């Protein structure tokens, strides 16, 4: 039995197979419409989510399966003091596979250690968000045609952004990858990610504060919001939240074939006027998220469709 805790749980070859499967699902959805008939996905979401929870649920329903779960800690027995370990033991009696989001780093790992069904980490604090990373990889590969030879700008909250940390960990396994880290001093990429991942693997990167300085030679711009829920005080959040706003004027500085990705939700870091730009692919990214989660559910349940 396999779980997904980190993008690194799959080898590059396995990621390619997963993305190939997602591509086949996109091309032939009817072939997979009943693949999970009689199976149940439990979504255990201890903190709010729209896309991640609904896309897991849509993925299972597209496969002909059923879903059950809760959408906040307040609507679960966590309010009575039930541990994650006990919750997953109980849920293992109800469902065939589970997706868990939790504000505490490592909570999905605890769940996996006590589970008798596959567990998907749907985000744990500021740590990892592997299914978003799979979504990002599929989006880039599908629209760029490759996952190597890329210059990627990561912009916004690089300190607390679990999507950024996961994506860096995944992309450094591909050839000729370069990062431009675009953030204010207070939200720089944590030292442990720079040292243990980028420096250790000799991945070239530059750190800049101005988005305009980075835009002219990027293949991918990955925008992120400044996350209010990760700040300890309102004052710091208010000071940081509008540090970067991507608008039409800035997009004129970018290459014609650059792609703009965003894990969403967007607050105001991308102006709505950018939405009509063909380089803005963040809503396509949402659709790719359903395909890759369908592929992941099939893979973890070891279901093969001929």
State the catalytic residues: 51-52, 80, 101, 129
Angle, helices 51-62/282-300, rounded to nearest 10 degrees: 50
d(CA 107, CA 185): 29
Q: What is the CB-side half-sphere exposure of residue 224 using CA atoms within 13 A? A: 27
**17 assigned to a ligand binding site:** no
Pick from 174, 135, 136, 163: nearest CA to 225: 163
**51 assigned to a ligand binding site:** yes
d(CA 260, CA 257): 10
Residue with tokens 């919001």: 225
**18 assigned to a ligand binding site:** no
- CB contact at 8 A, 302 and 119: no
**204 assigned to a ligand binding site:** no
**173 assigned to a ligand binding site:** no
d(CA 2, CA 117): 9
- CB contact at 8 A, 151 and 122: no
**265 assigned to a ligand binding site:** yes
**162 assigned to a ligand binding site:** yes
**114 assigned to a ligand binding site:** no
List b or e across 58-87, with b for residues whose CB sees 16 or more CB atoms inside 10 angstroms: bbbbbbebbbebbbebeebebeeeeebeeb
d(CA 157, CA 122): 19
CB atoms within 10 A of CB 276: 8
Give, in order, the Cα–Cα distances in Å from 62 to each of 34, 57, 97, 131, 298.
8, 9, 15, 17, 12
**190 assigned to a ligand binding site:** no
**80 assigned to a ligand binding site:** yes
Question: How is residue 186 annotated by DSSP?
Answer: G
- Three-state DSSP at 261 gives strand
Tokens of 231: 């700040």
Task: Please state the residue numbers annotated as binding site for L-aspartate.
Answer: 80, 162, 225
Q: Which residues are annotated as a binding site for carbamoyl phosphate?
A: 51-52, 101, 129, 132, 264-265
Annotated binding residues: 51-52, 80, 101, 129, 132, 162, 225, 264-265
């Amino acid at each position: 039995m396999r779980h997904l805790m980190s993008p690194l749980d799959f080898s590059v070859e396995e990621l390619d197979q997963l993305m190939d499967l997602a591509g086949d699902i996109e091309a032939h959805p009817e072939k997979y419409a009943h693949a999970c008939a009689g199976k149940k996905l439990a979504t255990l979401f201890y903190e709010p989510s729209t896309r991640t929870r609904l896309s897991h649920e849509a993925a299972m329903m597209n496969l002909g399966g059923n879903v059950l779960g809760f959408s906040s800690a307040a609507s679960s027995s966590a309010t009575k003091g039930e541990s994650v370990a006990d919750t997953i033991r109980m849920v293992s009696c109800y469902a065939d596979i589970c997706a868990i989001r939790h504000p505490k780093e490592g909570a999905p790992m605890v769940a996996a250690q006590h589970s008798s069904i596959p567990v998907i980490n749907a985000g744990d604090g500021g740590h990892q968000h592997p299914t978003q990373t799979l979504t990002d990889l599929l989006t880039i590969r599908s629209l760029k045609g490759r996952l190597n030879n890329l210059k990627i700008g990561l912009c916004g909250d690089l300190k607390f952004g679990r999507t950024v940390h996961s994506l860096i960990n995944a992309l450094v396994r591909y050839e000729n990858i370069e990062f431009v880290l675009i953030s204010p001093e207070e939200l720089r990429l944590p030292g442990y990610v720079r040292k243990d991942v980028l420096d250790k693997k000799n991945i070239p990167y530059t750190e800049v504060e101005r988005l305009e300085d980075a835009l002219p030679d990027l293949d991918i711009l990955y925008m992120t919001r400044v996350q209010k829920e990760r700040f300890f005080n309102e004052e710091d959040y208010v000071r940081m939240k509008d540090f970067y706003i991507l608008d039409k004027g800035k997009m004129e500085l970018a290459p014609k074939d650059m792609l703009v990705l965003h894990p969403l939700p967007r607050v105001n870091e991308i102006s709505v006027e950018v939405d009509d730009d063909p380089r803005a692919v963040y809503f396509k990214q949402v659709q790719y998220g359903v395909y890759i989660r369908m592929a992941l559910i099939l893979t973890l349940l070891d279901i093969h469709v001929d």
